[in-house]
Structure 1
Amino acid sequence: MRRRPLYGLAALAVGATLTLAGCSGGGGDAATDASPATSAATSAAGSTSAADGGAAQTTALTADDFAERIAAAQKEKKSVQLAMTTTLAGQKVAVEGKVDLGGSTPAMDETMTIPGMSTMKVRAVDGIVYMNLGTLSKDKWIKVDPKDTTNPLASQFSGMIDGADPTQQVEALKGAIASVKQSGSPETVDGVEAQKYVVTVDTAKLGGALKSQLGSTGASLPKTITYTYWVDGDDLVRKVDADVSGAKVDMTFSHWGEPVTVTAPPAGDILPGGLDDLTSLTS
């Protein structure tokens, strides 16, 4: 059956995006929260640089301030575009998308390419995940509520949205950071000067939701995970590399602070059966 690998790849890609973006993102307030089924980030640029950042870093990040400084930088920008490649069990999943961190929950719109399958599209709006499996779902969308306790398959997606709560993630990551080491001289990432940092995380100290996301492939987590971050002078993450539970994840971030709009699919394009439709389609 193809169901389990499909769930695992979708969960890994979506979860990794929300984890790495959400763990250092910022929540919205009454003035910036998205309207139902629509999310838009239109925040102004940072006070000392262009919307996409790029200033030279003057003060090195440390284990004590890594999470807080990145959180503050991304909270100000509120949006980002990303590209990610995840290699797992010989399969390479490529993801491109945009994330809005300005609402009460992160919103995203991503396109996922998996070898041997149709292109998959994933959106998250107002805490709900929508998946379009291309020809497999007849180009229709499957709506998934990760909080749905009536369907056990929803647990495959539990923690993706709740676990992306910026406050929870910052606290979870902060307590788990074992070390932050500056590595070499600044490098150029997508035309922006960024400092390389090697960040070691103690998985035993990760929060439950974050640990669940990182272990979504079903493999046991190692005692520590080493991330390599490239961070610019505005404390904005430009690139992240990691090897988690046998999955190699490479991510790049760009266009910080530029307007992003994410909307739910039209009601007529959503299959009525939810995860039951996904079960029948992938059996």
Structure 2
Amino acid sequence: MKKILMPILVAGALVLPAACGSAKPAANDTPTTQAVVTLTQADFAPKVLAAMLAKGTFHAVSVSDDEGDKETYTADVKLSAAGSELSGSSDGTGEDALSVIRAGGQTYAKSPHLSEDKAKPWMKFDPKTTDPQEMLKGALIRLAQMQFATHDLVGGAAHTTAFSSAPAGEATVYTMTIDLPKAAAANALGAYMTADLATGLKGKTLPVKMTVDKDLLLTKIELEDDGAKVVSTFSKYGDPVTIAAPAAAEIA
């Protein structure tokens, strides 16, 4: 596994009838188009998250390139006021095979590193366990979850040491450096990085580029961490998504 994470209202064009009654636009009437909105550091996370929440679902594809070793992580995500659920898998095979499900507030992962029992391939994340072996598996599940949760980095915009924006056609690219200890301690990074990990991240920052379209929907995240480059793309907003926990009989 790799080391690496309200829509704007549009005013419709007014079409005025000509004096003769035909439905021709007036000569001086031009269709209105939606202006690209440039967000500030303070309103970036609230407005982008609100736009994504309004759609409710999206599809994410993350490609991780760790010094030429590439792997793709694909997930369907469902958002609600209570948090996010997802179902994702990697394109890895054998020892590199990985699947993650987050449903009902619980995270499950499937990997040969976690369970070799083909009848019970899924492991349930237990953050309260004190068993050393289970704690190690829990750390692997946390790492696995990060691969499918780069969208949660949006919340880190409020905790950056640098923040700028540049237009890109009908989209805007935001370049920021997230202070990971502060963002994680504030519970701003969701499943990507939790508050209990913040104590071990002193001084750690993460340079990130996020592309947001004219509807304030996240379309791309680009980041690099410890030599690993990750590019995540987001699409299919609002498409139906079904997410269910693994069957109890399949959980080790």
TM-score, length-scaled by structure 1: 0.62
| Structure 1 counterpart of 2:23 | none
Q: Which residue identity lines up with residue 70 of structure 2 in the other structure?
A: K
| Structure 1 counterpart of 2:72 | 94
Q: What is the Cα deviation at residue 146 of structure 1?
A: 3.5
Per mean C-alpha deviation after superposition, the further-off stretch among 248-257 and 96-105 is 96-105
Counterpart of 2:221 (choices 235, 240, 264) is: 240
| Structure 1 counterpart of 2:165 | 182
Q: CA RMSD in A?
A: 3.9
Matched, 1:173 2:127: no
Query: Structure 1, residues 233-256: CA drift from partner, whole Å, max 9, x if none?
Result: 111000010012332111000011
Q: Secondary structure at the match of 2:243?
A: strand
Q: What is the Cα deviation at residue 62 of structure 1?
A: 1.8
Question: Do 1:79 and 1:101's aligned partners in 2 also have CA atoms closer than 8 Å?
Answer: yes
Question: Do 2:36 and 2:172's aligned partners in 1 also have CA atoms closer than 8 Å?
Answer: no
| Structure 1 counterpart of 2:210 | 229
| Structure 2 counterpart of 1:206 | 183
Say which structure, 1 or 2, has more relative contact order (CA 8 Å, 6+ apart).
1
| Structure 2 counterpart of 1:150 | 130
| Structure 2 counterpart of 1:79 | 57
Q: What is the Cα deviation at residue 89 of structure 1?
A: 5.7
Question: Do 1:178 and 1:200's aligned partners in 2 also have CA atoms closer than 8 Å?
Answer: yes
Question: Do 2:167 and 2:173's aligned partners in 1 also have CA atoms closer than 8 Å?
Answer: yes
Using the alignment, how far apart are the partners of 2:190 and 2:76 within structure 1? 24
Q: Secondary structure at the match of 1:182?
A: strand
Q: Secondary structure at the match of 1:64?
A: helix
Question: Do 2:181 and 2:201's aligned partners in 1 also have CA atoms closer than 8 Å?
Answer: no
| Structure 2 counterpart of 1:33 | none
| Structure 1 counterpart of 2:121 | 141
| Gapped regions of structure 2 (runs ≥ 5) | 12-32
Matched ranges for 1:1-283 at <5 A: 6=1, 9=2, 16=5, 57-88=35-66, 90-102=68-80, 104-114=82-92, 117=95, 119-133=97-111, 136-138=116-118, 140-151=120-131, 152-153=135-136, 155-156=138-139, 157=141, 173-186=156-169, 193-208=170-185, 210=189, 213=192, 223-271=204-252
| Gapped regions of structure 1 (runs ≥ 5) | 1-5, 17-25, 27-44, 50-54, 187-192, 272-283
Using the alignment, how far apart are the partners of 2:123 and 2:181 within structure 1? 33
Q: State the structure with more CA Rg.
A: 2
Q: What is the Cα deviation at residue 71 of structure 1?
A: 1.7
Alignment identity in percent? Answer: 24
Question: Do 1:141 and 1:265's aligned partners in 2 also have CA atoms closer than 8 Å?
Answer: no
Relative distance call for 1:221 and 1:211 in structure 2 (3 A) is farther
Q: Secondary structure at the match of 2:42?
A: coil
Question: Do 1:132 and 1:139's aligned partners in 2 also have CA atoms closer than 8 Å?
Answer: no
Q: Secondary structure at the match of 1:196?
A: strand
Q: What is the Cα deviation at residue 84 of structure 1?
A: 0.4
Question: Do 2:78 and 2:241's aligned partners in 1 also have CA atoms closer than 8 Å?
Answer: yes
